[in-house]
Amino acid sequence: MCQNPNEAKLNPSHFEGSNEEHQTAQEVEGGFAAYTQGMKFFDPHVHMTSRTTDDYQALADAGVVAIIEPAFWLGQPRTGLASFKDYFASLVGWERFRSSQFGIKHYCTIGLNSREANNEALAEEVMDILPLFLQKEGVVGVGEIGFDDQTAAEEKYYRAQLELAKEMGLPVQVHTPHRDKKKGTERSMAIALEHGLAPHMVVIDHNNEETVKSVLDQGFYAAFTIYPFTKMGNERMVEIVKQYGSERIMVNSAADWGISDPLAIPKTAALMKIKGISAVDIQNVTYQNALDSFAQSGQINEKDFIHGLEIDQSLKFNGNTVLRGGQAPRVDKNSIFIR
């Protein structure tokens, strides 16, 4: 959902900054940890299914204590309901287990993504199984849903899923389109309000300078995806927080199977610190606001991860482990992070 083939043409593929910005970017890239000691992070949008155990280890080392994995498309369309079922089941099953093995609390949002809403026959079937999965433990919202090409079918299933979120009292994670962003974002918010959703229950994702003011003015949460080398880099994120403060703003990595950086949040926090953003504002946009918005699901208890998870790699999930032959399990019941 976060990448599309047209993106490369629409956006500069190289970092376009001053020499000074280049230097700071390099410093943050290699040495962010020197600035983020003692900070903890909550990434409310990361597709770990597409990432490796090295990424989990790096996230844990960088202070990421909790994550939300939204259901999205897989880079190619699914051909049947069973693929959706297995994918949703993996988000509440194996992937959550895998995350726990690195001391990171894993939550997810479940929904029919906008691209695959365009296969209406399949979309109808997916709608039927959503309520079952939305009731599972650790599911903190309906997402990521919304518009991609802004077709009639996308609108139909966006509306249907807003109704479902309202019925079930769950927050909504809204993917805004990369093309016609401003129009698509306004349309997404107007439809959510039309369906009677409270703005504080809706997280509007993938914002930029053009959309942020209206999103905040209307009372929604505004999420920003930090894309490496592209349109929403972390330098620009710093400017947004300087201008708008930190209320209802959150950053995420949206890391997936495309070129993306799961460490985008700690790196942005380091840059914010270098640029003189206050500790409270940094905490709000890299941890607290993600927690507060999705905790409205009733599914998140900060006590579960604030002091670190107990790591026991000798545990298994349906008989399967993250270990390979000959590897010793790490059993670390009292430490905050594994090292």
CA atoms within 13 A on the CB side of 176: 28
The residue (of 260 and 289) whose beta carbon lies closer to Zn ion is: 260
Q: Residues 6 or more apart from 221 whose CB is under 8 A from it? A: 200, 202, 203, 204, 215, 248, 249, 250, 289, 293
Q: Which of 35, 56, 72, 294 binds Zn ion (CB under 5 A)?
A: 72
Q: Which of 162, 215, 254, 300 binds Zn ion (CB under 5 A)?
A: 254
The residue (of 192 and 254) whose beta carbon lies closer to Zn ion is: 254
Least distance to Zn ion, CB of residue 168, Å: 21
- Rule CB under 5 A: is residue 1 a binding residue for Zn ion? yes
Least distance to Zn ion, CB of residue 320, Å: 26
In DSSP terms, 141 is beta-bridged to: 109
Q: What are the tokens at 170?
A: 């769950």
In DSSP terms, 174 is beta-bridged to: 145, 204
Stretch that binds Zn ion, among 20-28, 64-72, 195-203, 240-248 (CB under 5 A): 64-72
The residue (of 234 and 252) whose beta carbon lies closer to Zn ion is: 252
What is the size of the binding site for Zn ion (CB under 5 A)? 4
Stretch that binds Zn ion, among 72-80, 134-142, 150-158, 310-318 (CB under 5 A): 72-80
CA atoms within 13 A on the CB side of 27: 17
Least distance to Zn ion, CB of residue 33, Å: 26
Burial of 140 by CB count in 10 Å (0-12 exposed, 13-18 middle, 19+ buried)? buried
Stretch that binds Zn ion, among 12-20, 106-114, 124-132, 247-255 (CB under 5 A): 247-255
- Rule CB under 5 A: is residue 174 a binding residue for Zn ion? no
Stretch that binds Zn ion, among 54-62, 246-254, 305-313, 324-332 (CB under 5 A): 246-254
The rounded distance, in Å, linking the Cα atoms of 282 and 280 is 5
Least distance to Zn ion, CB of residue 91, Å: 12
State the SS3 of 98-163. HHHCCCCEEEEEECCCCHHHHCHHHHHHHHHHHHHHHCCCCEEEEEEEECCCCCHHHHHHHHHHHH
Binding-site ranges for Zn ion (CB under 5 A): 1-2, 72, 254
